């Protein structure tokens, strides 16, 4: 009789932990899927991570760059959840323009939002490095949206898998792009 409450507690704890891990895996799968598609110029695949409303404009802009812009590599350097349905991801790109031949480095901040079971890129802008074609410049402070970060120890994130750190800071995570097979 006393085993039932203990067993039930273990099952519930495992299920809750599993949903956090699944959320982290899902957002990382989307982030990597989008950035891999951009690196290898698979624009229709990349567009699948953009909202339907903005998809055509995204494709038009990227198609105008595909002949000259080459993303040599990218690294996902940081990630944090702002809420259950929003995440910020910092990505460092190494890239060049074929007509210039100079390798540049640009760090961007990508804002991701969950819509149903899918994570979509809501916004991306440069935070440091050279201006990169197809990436917006950092908005003025007055244009930035007020965002409430998740306090440490809240149920929104438990600090596993690098998704959030104490005091709302971004935590470094390991992540490299892979060449498609």
Q: What is the pLDDT of residues 67-122, one digit of tens each?
A: 999 999 999 999 999 999 999 999 999 999 999 989 999 999 999 999 999 999 99
Tokens representing 96 are 């060049």
| Banded model confidence at residue 19, pLDDT cuts 50, 70, 90 | low
Contact 139, 71 (CB under 8 A): no
pTM of the model: 0.69
Contact 43, 67 (CB under 8 A): no
- What the chain holds in terms of domains, given with CATH numbers, is 3-172 (3.10.450.50)
Tokens representing 126 are 């440069």
Considering just the CA atoms, what is the radius of gyration of the chain in Å?
19
Sign of CA dihedral 6, 12, 15, 21: negative
| Residue 119: φ, ψ to 5° | -100, 125
**For the segment 126-176, what is each residue's pLDDT rounded down to a tens digit?**
999 999 999 999 876 654 444 334 333 443 333 333 333 333 444 444 344
């Amino acid at each position: 009789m006393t085993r039932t409450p203990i067993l039930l507690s273990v099952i519930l704890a495992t299920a809750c932990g599993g949903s956090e891990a699944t959320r982290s895996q899902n957002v990382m799968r989307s982030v990597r899927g989008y950035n891999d598609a951009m690196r290898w110029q698979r624009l229709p695949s990349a567009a699948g991570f953009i909202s339907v409303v903005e998809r055509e404009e995204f494709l038009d802009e990227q198609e105008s760059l595909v002949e000259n812009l080459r993303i040599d590599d990218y690294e996902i350097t940081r990630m944090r959840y702002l809420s259950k349905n929003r995440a910020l991801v910092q990505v460092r790109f190494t890239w060049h323009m074929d007509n210039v031949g100079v390798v540049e480095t640009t760090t961007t901040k990508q804002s991701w939002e969950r819509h149903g079971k899918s994570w979509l890129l809501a916004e991306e802008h440069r935070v440091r490095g050279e201006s990169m074609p197809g990436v917006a410049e950092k908005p003025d402070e007055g244009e930035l949206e007020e965002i409430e970060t998740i306090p440490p120890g809240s149920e929104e994130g438990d600090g596993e898998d690098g998704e959030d750190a104490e005091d709302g800071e971004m935590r470094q995570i390991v992540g490299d792009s892979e060449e498609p097979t």
